[in-house]
Amino acid sequence: MSTEADPSPYAEVETALCEEFAGVHSSATVTRCVEAAHYGALEVTGYAHPSLVERIARKHLHVLALVASDRG
């Protein structure tokens, strides 16, 4: 029996998106987008497969980057 917490099923998604959006978004922002994508996918489809969560989170991050560039 392991006493360590199970790793998030989205840890790889977060890592990939943090690398992809490095210099654009903080890791905290990426984490929030992944969490929001997870809950959104659950609400809409009843299941949150990592590839779906990644696609949704990436869209969120792109939109946030566009908004930031318009303000900048």
Token pair recorded at residue 17: 């998106």
Element (H, E) at 44: helix 27-45
Predicted pLDDT of residue 36: 97
pLDDT of residue 4: 54
Query: How far is it, in rounded angstroms, from Cα 35 to Cα 10?
Result: 9
Q: How far apart are CA 43 and CA 46, in angstroms?
A: 6
Q: What pLDDT does residue 70 have?
A: 86
pTM to 2 decimals? 0.86
pLDDT of residue 8: 83
Cβ-count burial 47-67 (b if 16+ within 10 Å, e if not): ebebebbbebbbebbeebeee
**pLDDT tens series, the chain, 72 aa:** 444 565 788 999 999 999 999 999 999 999 999 999 999 999 999 999 999 999 999 999 999 999 988 886
